[in-house]
Amino acid sequence: MKRLIIFDILRGILLLMMIVDHSPSQLRVFTDQPMGFFTTAEGFVFVSAFLAGMLFRRRTDESGFVEARSATICRAWRIYRAHLLTVSFAFVIGSFFLGQFPGVGNLLDQYLKNPAAALVGSAVLLFRPPLMDILPMYIWFSFLTPLAFLAAQRWGWKAVIYTSLAVWLISQTRVRDLLVTGCRGIPCVELGPFDILAWQLLWISGLFLGQRFQGGVAVIHIPSSLQRVLLALVIGFLGWRWGSIYLGVDLSNEMWLLDKWHLGPLRLINFFAVVCLISKLRKMVECGEAWLRPLSLIGQHMLPIFCSQICLSILLIGIVEPLTDREPIASLLVICQLLSACLLGWLFEWISRRKNSTALRPRTFATRREILPAEG
């Protein structure tokens, strides 16, 4: 299957925006919900689910469901190891260098109260400190993927979508908040703000559209009349969002319809309206592939760069937050961090190509030895 560069570019853009969002820099005003009332997190989850849906269907068609399920579980294991490395780095910083990085204490306050319980909770994905709460959600969604495809094989994708929508509706009653309240005081449990019962709707939607795309079916067919409605919605949400920024009011914290952690209804409408319009720009982005090479490299090596940038963000927060006058130091450090992501993209690509060339050499040599006697 030919690699779709547009998804690598999208993931690269989202990661760079996430770096700025996780920083205490004033540059966040340009990256925090710039296209309406949704963040890079929604984009990450949806794009990852879309690619997961494509890959799972391709593997199922080529090698069967069991092989596709095994590959997905292996991917979940890789994400789990990346999660453990990331939280281990944070815990080491919190344990041994807290004096040098006092701002880290705000991120790891629960860990500092009971390190042993935090270590156990992180291993079983129940302890999710700030900035380190999205990888555990990805792991759970990786296990959800084969279940969704199995259910789709038996009852059809319509039943899977309706079930996912029903779970999302239940999540809007804040049932997860009751669970969080009940777990409060348990030292090994810090579930983080993401409501997985709500966010699974984004994942299931991405899986469905990704497998349709892999099957050669039009992902989203939008009549011209509806395109104008979507454009009006996008412009309306865009003006509403930037107007609220100008007024200094964060409506996503004021209205449950725009709530981030529970994925409020208006937030979903805003996100999918933008997705539909961006899907029309695919050819334009592919034409500029050469110019966007740094972004595509970041997207191709997403997992290691994502984890390394989380670690750098923890260090940056630890350094900058105690300062009384953060600017322009914070913005300068964030710009350096953005450049480091590009450099890591080139580095991991070089390592990947070197491994591939090394793996091919013995085979080429063996082939040459087989050919030589025949030539003689």
Instruction: Report the alpha-carbon distance of residue 364 to residue 376 in Å, rounded.
Output: 19
Number of separate domains in the chain = 1
pLDDT at 363: 52
pLDDT at 369: 46
Residue 251 lies in a domain: yes
Instruction: Report the alpha-carbon distance of residue 373 to residue 370 in Å, rounded.
Output: 6
Instruction: Report the alpha-carbon distance of residue 308 to residue 302 in Å, rounded.
Output: 10
pLDDT at 368: 44
Residue 308 lies in a domain: yes
pLDDT at 281: 72
Cis status, amide bond into 265, omega within 30 of 0: no
Annotate 265-289 with b (16+ C-beta within 10 A) or e (fewer).
ebbbbbbbbbbbbeeeeeeebeeee
Q: Tokens representing 129?
A: 């400190």
Instruction: Report the alpha-carbon distance of residue 20 to residue 42 in Å, rounded.
Output: 16
Instruction: Report the alpha-carbon distance of residue 323 to residue 333 in Å, rounded.
Output: 13
Averaged in consecutive runs of 10 residues, what is the pLDDT profile of the chain (376 residues)? 77 94 90 89 94 95 94 96 93 81 81 88 90 93 96 96 97 90 83 93 95 80 78 90 81 81 93 85 68 89 94 90 83 94 94 80 49 40
Residue 372 lies in a domain: no
**Greatest Cα pair distance in the chain:** 83
pLDDT at 302: 93
Instruction: Report the alpha-carbon distance of residue 159 to residue 182 in Å, rounded.
Output: 32
Instruction: Report the alpha-carbon distance of residue 342 to residue 186 in Å, rounded.
Output: 40
- How many other CB atoms are there within 10 angstroms of residue 249's CB atom? 11
Residues shown for the chain: 376
Q: Tokens representing 150?
A: 């199995």
Residue 366 lies in a domain: no
Q: What letter would DSSP give residue 32?
A: S
Domain span at residue 12 reads 5-360
Which is nearest to 40 in space by CA: 2, 12, 64? Answer: 12
127 beta partners: 190
Contacts of 152 (CB under 8 A, 6+ apart): 159, 160
φ/ψ of 268, rounded to 5, equals -65, -45
The alpha carbon of 119 is separated from its chain's Cα centroid by a whole number of angstroms, namely 23
∠ Cα 59 63 67 (to 5°)? 75
Residue 374 lies in a domain: no
Report yes or no: 47 and 40 within 8 Å, Cβ to Cβ. no
Instruction: Report the alpha-carbon distance of residue 227 to residue 212 in Å, rounded.
Output: 21
- How many other CB atoms are there within 10 angstroms of residue 1's CB atom? 9
Instruction: Report the alpha-carbon distance of residue 130 to residue 282 in Å, rounded.
Output: 33
Residue 375 lies in a domain: no
pLDDT at 374: 41
Q: Tokens representing 22?
A: 């996780």
Q: Tokens representing 18?
A: 């996430």
Residue 112 lies in a domain: yes
- The SS3 assignment for 190 reads strand
166 burial via Cβ count (<10 Å: 0-12, 13-18, 19+): exposed
